[in-house]
Amino acid sequence: MKFIHTSDWQIGMTFPGLSGKDPDEVVRLKNIRNDQMIRSIFECAKRLDIHLILAAGDQFENSHVPDKIISKFLSVVKGYGDIDLYLIPGNHDPYNENSIYKRDVFQQIPANLHIIKENQMIEYNDEAEIYFTVLKEKYGSYNPLDWIESKDSGKLRIGVGHGSLKIENKYKEEDFPIDTDTAIKKNLDYLALGHWHSFLAYGDGRTFYSGTPEPTRHGEKASGHVLEVEIDRHNVSPRIQKHEINSYTWIDKSSEVYSKDDIDLLFSPYLTSFKECVLKLSLTGQLSLEDYDYLEQQIDGVKSKVSFLDVNKDNVNINLSDDDLKDHMPDDYIKNVYDRLNEIHDGAEPCPSSLGEEVDQKMCALKALQIMGQGFRE
C-alpha cells in the first residue's frame, strides 16, 4: 500500500509578520499557499501513481478563511478526481459549532474529498484500517489517539492524528500531548501526525511528522515536503521518501562581517536567481567606513533578487581609521569621545557610574559608536 502523508497546509494564512513589506509580494506568497501548494501535492501523488492522500490536520488557518479561498481549494481537489483526499480537523480548524467545515461552501464537495468529522476507523480498499482522529477545540491536555483499540485483524493499521509527541522540551501540556509509544501500544504500522511544521521521524520507525509542505515562518528548517509512504503488510516497517514541493525558501542566517570578502561571501548566493526567498540576516562584526558603505550597496542589490529581505545590522560597528578621524573629526574633543567609547566597549575603560549597573555598558558604547560612525557617513 502506498499513500501521501501531509499536514499543516494552513490555507488562508495572512502572514502578519510580513506587514509593511511589498504588498504585491505578500499577495503572491498567499496565492502560492492557497493554490499552487495544493496543486503541487496532488501533482506529486499523480507523478508517483498514488491515489490516497492523508492530511493530518490544520488544512485551514482558522474558521474565518474567506469562501473564495475555500472554493478555490474545492476546485483544485475536484480536478484530481482519481486521488482521494482524507483530512482531519486540527487545532487551527477544529470541528465544533464554529467549524469552517460547517460553512455553506462545504455543503457540496467533490466525491474524492473526505472530511472526517468524528473519531472513526475506515477500511480502505480492504487492505488497511485507517484510524482518523478529530480535534474539536484549539487546546487540549489529552492524547487524542487514546480511543484507538489495540487489535490485530491482519490488515495494515494506520493512525492519523494531530498533536505533540511527548518529547522533553518539545511539547506543551495543552498541545494534545501524544505518548511517544502510541504507535506501538495501539499496534499501528504507521502513525501520520500533524501539528509540528518540520519533518520528524521518531525512533520507533512508525511515527512521523510530515511537516508543512510550504513553510509558514523562519525556523521551520525541515519543512517543504510531503511523505511518500509504502507499507507491504502488517508488522512490516514502512518505507518513507520525502518529496520537496515548496515554492518559497525561508532563510534565517546569522553572520559576522569584518571585510569586503566576508560581505561578498555572505551575499553572493542571493545575487543570482533566488527570487522566491524570505531572507532574514542578523549581522555582527566591525567594518571600516568604506566597507560599511559597500555592505549597504550589497543589501540594496539583494533587495531586488529576493522576495523579502530583513537585515539587522545593529551589531555591526563602524571602525573609523586614522584617516577617517582626520577627515571627519578635526575637533580633538570629539576624537577623545570616540577613543573613550572604544575603550569602554573593549573593557579597558569603566563606563560612567551614572548609567547604573542595570545598563549593558558595552552595548551602550557600541550603539554610541555606531551612531557616530553613521553620522560621519552622512
Q: Give the integer Cα–Cα distance in Å for 166 and 143.
A: 10
Joined together, the cell numbers standing for residue 187 give 499496534
Give the residue-averaged pLDDT of 294-311.
92
CA dist., res. 372 & res. 174, Å (int): 49
289 confidence band (pLDDT: 50, 70, 90): confident
Domain definitions of the chain by residue range: 2-244, 249-377
- Region of poorest pLDDT, from 117-131, 144-158, 335-349, 364-378: 364-378
| pLDDT bucket at 6, cuts 50 / 70 / 90 | very high
Q: Which of 186, 185, 121, 131 is nearest to 162 (CA)?
A: 131
SS3 241: strand
Q: What is the pLDDT of residue 271?
A: 77
Tell me the whole-structure pTM to 2 decimals.
0.84
Q: How confident is the model at residue 129 (pLDDT cuts 50, 70, 90)?
A: very high
Quick one: pLDDT at residue 87?
98
Average pLDDT over the chain reads: 89
Confidence tier at 328 by pLDDT (50, 70, 90): low
pLDDT digits (tens, 9 = 90+) for 185-212: 999 999 999 999 999 999 879 999 999 9
**Cell numbers 473564495 correspond to what residue?**
68
- Are 170 and 164 contacting, i.e. CB atoms less than 8 angstroms apart? yes
Q: Where are the beta strands (DSSP E) in the chain?
A: 2-6, 52-55, 84-87, 113-115, 120-124, 128-132, 156-162, 164-165, 177-178, 190-194, 200-201, 207-209, 225-230, 239-244, 249-257, 277-288, 308-319
**Residue 318, Cβ density class (10 Å: 0-12 exposed, 13-18 middle, ≥19 buried):** buried
Q: How far apart are CA 328 and CA 338, in angstroms?
A: 12
pLDDT (mean) for 319-346: 64
Contact between 252 and 241 under an 8 Å Cβ cutoff? The reply is no
For position 144, what pLDDT does the model report? 97
Whole-number Å distance between alpha carbons of 341 and 359 = 15
Contact between 262 and 290 under an 8 Å Cβ cutoff? The reply is no
Closest-CA residue to 32 (of 272, 221, 214, 169)? 214
Instruction: Residues 2-244: name the CATH superfamily.
Output: Metallo-dependent phosphatases (3.60.21.10)
pLDDT at 365: 62
The pLDDT tens digits for 358-369 are 556 656 665 666
